Amino acid sequence: MRSPTPTHAFARKLRGELSLPEKLIWVRIRRREPGRPVFRRQHPIRPYVLDFYCAPARLCVEIDGQGHGFGDRPPRDDRRDAFLAAAGIQVVRIPASTVLDDPEAVVEWMWEMARERLGEPPRAPSV
């Protein structure tokens, strides 16, 4: 077995330190249910760690807190998104406040976005 890279070690550390919005998403998507796309949390890809990643759909969902709009964060996020786009990964950024307002709707949207990327037909809303 090979040694983990620094990015892998950092991802492992982040899995134990999820923010509240990330926890609200993770508790809803962690069970692998038939017909639902599978997302990984804090998934390392090269120098980056993705908040949530659906590998078959090549979809990354980032939960952005207020800090992402200030200082050097916007250019850093742009570089990161460009790197991932060049690797064929679509990045979607969701404000943490949106997750806090309605985590269920965010999770349903994530699943629907992944299904769409996989070419699956839309599903009827669950009741």
Q: How many CB atoms lie within 10 A of CB 84?
A: 20
pLDDT (average), residues 98-124: 90
- Give the pLDDT confidence of 53-105 residue by residue, as tens digits: 999 999 999 998 766 555 667 888 899 999 999 999 999 999 999 999 999 99
- Give the pLDDT confidence of 4-37 residue by residue, as tens digits: 577 666 556 556 668 899 999 999 999 888 889 9
CATH of residue 33:
3.40.960.10
Parent domain of 63? 6-117
Query: Based on the structure, what is the number of domains in the chain?
Result: 1
Q: How many CB atoms lie within 10 A of CB 105?
A: 11
Q: H helices of 5-60, where?
A: 6-15, 20-29
Give domain status of residue 74, yes or no.
yes
